[in-house]
Structure 1
Amino acid sequence: MINLPKLLHIHTKQNCGFTLIELLVGIVLAGLVVTPLMNFMLNILATQRQEEAKANTDQELQSTINYITQDLRQAIYIYDADGLNNNSNNISPGIRNQIPPLAPAPGCDNEANCTPVLVFWKREFKPEAFSRCTSESIDCVTNTQLDDTFVYSLVAYYLVASADSTNSTTARIARFQINDGVKDPRNSNNYTEPPHDGFQFFNLRVPGATLKDKMNRWQKANEDYTNSVATLVDFIDTSVNTKQNCPDNTQQVPAVASGFYACVDSTNTTAQVHLRGNAIARIRNDATCDRASVYCPTVSVQIQGRGLLSRN
C-alpha cells in the first residue's frame, strides 16, 4: 500500500525552492549580463537622439538658406557694414538708427540681443492688388478683374540672442519686413492697401556721389514700427569666430562672425551668406559648439540680387 503522507512529504522536500546563496549568485550573474546590455541600449538611444538632432538641424539650415536665397534674389540694393554701422546723422551716414533695434520693433528692441546681418530693398510681386477700372462707373463697380503690381519692401534678417523661455539658449535668426502700399489707380493720393507703419520710400534725389551714398541716407517715416521681428529658425551657433573670411571686395556683417554672418558687396548687389547650427543644444542646454564637429553643420551660398537701381 502507498504511504500517502510519506509521498507528500517527499514531494514537498524536493520542491523547497532556491537557497539564499543561490538567489544571490543568480542576481549577480543577471547583473553581469544585463548591465552591459543596458549600457549598450542607452548608447544606442543617445546616438539615435544625436543623429535626429543633427538631421533636424541640417534640414532647418537648408530650408533657411533656401528661403533667404529666394528672398535675396529679388534685392535691388543690399546694405553693407558702412550702412548698418553708421547713424543717419553721421558725417558718413547710415541706417543703423532707422531700423530695429535702435528704432524698436516688436521682437527686436535691444542692441545687445538683436544684431542686423542682412538688410536690403527688394521689389516684390503683388498679385491681383487692384481693379483694372479707372472710373466709378457701374461697369467698374461690378468688374471683379484685378491687376497685378509690384511694391518696394525693406527686409532685414537678424541674429537674435534668446531671452525668453520659448526659444533655446542658443541664438536664432529672425526676419523683419515693411512694405509700401498699393496706390489706387483712380486717385494717386489714396491707397487700396496702405503702407506698413514706419515705411518710407527711398529717395535717389538726395545728395551723394554714389548709389551707396544715397541709400545710406534713407530714413523711416515718423511713426513707430508695428510689424514684428519674427523668428525664422532656432538653434544657431553663438560661438565667436574672429577670422575674416570675406573676399577683399566685400564687407563682413557683423564685424565679428558667429553662426550667421554675410559678406556683402553693395556695388554689385551680391552677398555670401553663412549659417552654422548647433545640434547638440537640442539635447542639452548651454552646449558649446565645436566648429569641426558634425553636430555643428554649416551651409553657405552666394546670391546675386536684381540690382535694378542706379544713382540717377
Structure 2
Amino acid sequence: MKKPLHKIVTFLKRKGILRLPKSRHSQGFASGFTLIELLVSALIASVLVSIMLAFLVGVLESDRKETVKTNAQEELQAAISYISDDLQEAIYIYGAAGIVGINDKLPHTQITNPSSECNPTTNTCTPILVFWKRSAFNPDATARYSANATSEIIGCMPYGDTPASSLAQLTACRANSQANNRAFGRDSYTYSLVAYYLKNDTANPVNSGWSNTARILRWEIKDGYVAYCASPVPNGSASITKNPATNAITSPAGCPAVANLSFRANSPLILLPIPLADPNVYFVLPSTGFNRPDFKTDGGLLSWQKFDNYDFSANPFVTLVDFMDDTDFNGTVQGGNAVATGTIPAATGVPRITIGRNDASNRNLDCDDPSVGVGTTDPVNNITQRVPADFANSDGSNPSRLSSFYACISPNTVTARIFMRGNAIARLTSPAIDRARRTPNVNNITFFPTADVRSFGRSQIGLGK
C-alpha cells in the first residue's frame, strides 16, 4: 500500500501539483521584492503610462486639428460652389462702379426699418457680389396667394373655379401635378436681385449663435407671379385687368377669382416726374421694394431705384457660411493695396492678395489677366473691376475692413472670379479663440484654407461689345 502511495506523491511533485511546506530554515531564504524595487517599478510604470497618454493626447489633438481644417475647406468649397451656381443664372453683375451707383438702395445702407444683420449703425457689411438673375416659378411647386394666403399649385393658379368647365380644368390640373406629372400652367420667368455680403462678426456678443469671426450673407428680392387666365372662356379670349384710376381688378368668367388676385399701390418713394405705378395684377406679389430694372442700358441699371422700403422679416439676410477669416486688412503685409499692374502684387507676409486695387478709371489690369482674374479680350469696352475697389476704405467700399471675400467682375460679359479665405483656428474652441491668437502667419497658414472659382453667367443683356 505504501509503495503505490509513494509513487503517486512522487508523480504529483514532479508535475508541480503537490508542493510540501518548506521548513523554517528554507523559508528564511525565500525570494521577493524589496520596497525600493517596488517603488522603482511603480515609477517606471508611471513614466510609461504618462508617455503613452501624452502620445495618445497628441494623436487626438492632431486628429482634431486636421478635422477642423478639413471641415473648413469643405464648407468653403461648398459655399463657393453654391455662389458659382447662383451666378450662372446672372444676366448682369455690378462692378465696383455699379455698386457705388446703387449703394444707397442696397439693404446694408437702409435707415428706415433697417436689418439687424447689416445696417448703417454697425457698418460691418461689405457688398461683394450684386447681380440680377433670371428666376422661375416652378409650375409644380406650391405657393400662397398674396390676396388671401390660400395655398395652390403654381401651375394651377391661372385656372378659374367657375363655371363648371373651368373648375373641371382646375381639378384636372391639380390631379395631374399630384400624380407627379407636369401641372398645366406654363413656366413663368422673372427676375431677382441678389446680393452677397462679407460681414465682420468680431463685435457680436458671445451668445449670438455665430463664431464671432466673419460670415458670408445672402439677400434676395424677387419679382411677382403676374396673373393670367389659362381657361377657355365663352368669348374665346380674356385677360385680367386693373383700372389705373380705382385699382379695381376685373377677371372674366372662367378666369381666376378676383379674391385670389392682388395689386401694388403706387410707389411711395419714386414720385418724380409722377408716382411710379405698377399696372400688373398678381397671383403672388413681388418682394417688398422690388422694382423691375431698365435693361436697355447700363445707365438704367446703375440708376436703379427701389419701389418701396424693404421688409427684412420677409426677405432677411441668410448666412451662407461662417468662420470666414476676420483678419483686418493690412496692405503692407497682404498686398492688394497698390494699383493693379498686371503682375501679382508684392507682399511681405500671409495671406497674400493676388489682385491689386482698381485704378482711377475703375479698371483693373490684374482682373484682365485670365490666369488670376476673369480675363477680357476687349479691355477698352469690357472693363474688369475688383470688388471691393479699396480694402482700406472702411467708410466707403469696404465697411467690414476685411479681405477674406472679394471678386473680379466683368459686368458686360457677366463673368466673375471669386476669392474666399476661411479661418479653421477659430473652430478649435467654442467660443472662438481670441482674435489676437488666430491671426495668420507662416507657421499656421494651413489653418486658413482658400478657394477661388471663375463663373460665367449663362445669359446677358447685350451690353458687352
* Residue 454 (structure 2) aligns with: 302
**Counterpart in 1 of 2:222?**
179
Tell me which protein shows more strand as a share of its residues. Answer: 1
Which secondary structure state, in structure 1, belongs to the residue aligned with residue 294 of structure 2?
coil
- Normalised by the length of structure 1, the TM-score is 0.83
Give the match for residue 278 of structure 1.
423
C-alpha distance in 2 between matches for 1:184 and 1:76: 24
Question: 2 CA distance for matches of 1:125 and 1:148?
Answer: 7
Which secondary structure state, in structure 1, belongs to the residue aligned with residue 98 of structure 2? helix
Q: What SS does the corresponding residue of 1:232 show, helix, strand or coil?
A: strand
Paired with 1:288 and 1:153, the residues of 2 have a C-alpha distance of 38
Name 2:405's counterpart in structure 1.
Answer: 260
Aligned to 1:197: 288
Equivalent in the alignment of 1:208: none
> Aligned-pair RMSD on alpha carbons?
2.9
Post-superposition Cα deviations, 1:114-172, rounded to whole Å, max 9, x if no partner, equal: 11110100011221134454895433333223322112100011111222431113211
Q: CA offsets, 1:47-101, max 9 Å, x none?
A: 10011111111111111111111100000110111122x2xxxxxxx11111121
Deviations 1:209-252 (A, max 9, x none): xx332211011122233211111111111233441614144211
1:288 aligns with 2:439: yes
**Amino acid aligned to 2:59:** I
Cα deviations across residues 253-283 of structure 1 (Å, max 9, x unaligned)?
1232621111111111111011111112111
Q: Secondary structure at the match of 2:323?
A: strand
Give the SS at the match of 1:150.
strand
- Percent identity of the aligned residues? 35
**Uncovered stretches (5+) of structure 2, i.e. residues with no partner:** 1-21, 140-153, 174-183, 230-239, 242-279, 341-354, 356-365, 369-382, 392-401
1:90 is aligned to none
Contact 1:105 1:224 in 2 (8 A): no
The offset of 1:18, in angstroms, is: 5.8
Residue pair 2:158, 2:227 contacting (<8 A) in 1 also:
no
Deviates more, 1:97-106 or 1:23-32: 23-32
Counterpart residue number, 2:133:
122
Q: Secondary structure at the residue paired with 1:40?
A: helix
Pairwise CA distance, 1:308 = 2.9
Q: Equivalent residue for 2:211?
A: 168
SS of the equivalent of 2:60 reads: helix
Deviation of the 1:306 alpha carbon: 3.0
**What corresponds to 1:102 in structure 2?**
109
- Among 220, 224, 242, the alignment partner of 2:310 is 224
**For each residue in 1:12-52, what CA deviation from the matched residue of structure 2 results, as whole angstroms up to 9, or x when unmatched?**
x9799863x44432332123222222221111111100111
Match of 1:49, SS state, is helix
Q: Pick from 67, 75, 80 the counterpart of residue 65 of structure 1.
A: 80
Residue 89 of structure 1: aligned partner = none
| Contact 1:107 1:230 (C-alpha < 8 Å) held by counterparts | no
Contact 1:113 1:161 in 2 (8 A): yes
Match of 1:233 in 2: 321
Q: How does 1:32-51 map to 2 (within 5 A)?
A: 32-51=47-66
User: Which one of the candidate residues 349, 352, 367 is aligned to 1:247?
Assistant: 367
Equivalent residue for 2:167, pick from 141, 166, 171:
141
1:108 is matched by which residue type in structure 2?
A: C
Query: Higher RCO, 1 or 2 (CA under 8 Å, sep at least 6)?
Result: 1
Q: Taking structure 1 as reference, are residues 282 and 309 closer, same or farther at Cα in structure 2, changes over 3 Å only?
A: same
TM-fit CA distance, 1:204: 4.2
